Amino acid sequence: MARSRVGQVAVVTGASSGIGWELARQLAAEGAKVALVARRAEPLQELQKLITEAGGTAMIAVADVGSREQVEALFRSVAEQLGPIDLVIANAGVGRPTFLDPVNMTDVEDTFRINLMGVIYTLSAALPTMLARKSGHLVAISSLASYRGLPGESAYCASKAAVNVYLDGLRIHLHNTGVRVTTVCPGFVTTPMTVANTFHMPGLMTAEYAARKILRAIGRGTKVYNFPWRLCMMVKLSRWMPDWVMLRFMDDYNTDAAKPHSAKNDA
């Protein structure tokens, strides 16, 4: 059964845009006090205004989740301003393509620093207090792209696969501690991350819809939430497909991936 969020303290990283923006807005509408985290202050201020005008509570914490120091500092400031943290959603991420010749190594390194280390820093910073209180919920937004390496997205898919496995270990390790763990793997969502995609995106969802589904799964304490289910089945089946079948189905997918970095897909 879904739990009430009234009075809960929630941290949402990547709240300046897309899925994170919607997650934060909906959490605040359900009565949670929300800490809005991202690097850009301006969109966070807009969201804070929206939330407070609707009668909710939100604070802003400008931070780069790829910096452990900044993440630890932001958690100290959230605890001081809003109180002990009940829910953390490590949502911040980048969707940069991986090129072939030359490999855009800085983007590959950034992808792992933000998508993987950013999640680990974020969840780890919340953990000691949650363990002491024997209560809390850690969530990471991974992706259905974590289940199969896709052309032109090698770094992105690998970073998300690592998130899944890290959270699997964490969830089992935290058994019986009162701290719950949820991995969320969405399919395609209309956000600035996907807006420049030229290929067909099956099952494309709005951020508003995706956030609603994610919050419902979190409320139920789902361990791993993959959605939409049709795309999830296709992706899981694709794990057993030989490369030539993948190539046939994906001939229009990231056809520009061999070109130098164009900042396409960059968050």
The 118-137 contact track toward ligand NAP, x by CB under 6 A, reads: x-------------------
Residue 93 touching ligand NAP (CB under 6 A): yes
Positions in 21-60 near ligand NAP (CB under 6 A): 38-40
One residue of 158, 193, 232, 235 binding ligand NAP per CB under 6 A: 193
Residue 56: strand, helix, or coil:
coil
Catalytic residues: 156
Residue 66 touching ligand NAP (CB under 6 A): yes
The window from 51-59, 192-200, 216-224, 247-255 that contacts ligand NAP (CB under 6 A) reads 192-200
Pick 71 or 127: Cβ nearer ligand NAP: 71
Closest Cα to residue 60, out of 76, 45, 71, 70? 45
The CA distance from 93 to 114, in Å, is: 6
- Report in angstroms how near the CB of residue 22 gets to ligand NAP at its nearest: 8
Residue 146 touching ligand NAP (CB under 6 A): no
Alpha-carbon distances of 196 from 164, 192, 264, rounded to whole Å: 26, 8, 6
Q: In this structure, what token pair is assigned to residue 235?
A: 């992706």
Buried b (16+ CB within 10 A) or exposed e, 148-171: bbbbbbbbbbbbbbbbbebbeebb
Contact 65, 118 (CB under 8 A): yes
Q: Which residues bind ligand NAP (CB under 6 A)?
A: 13-20, 38-40, 64-66, 91-95, 114, 118, 141, 143, 186, 188-189, 191-194, 267
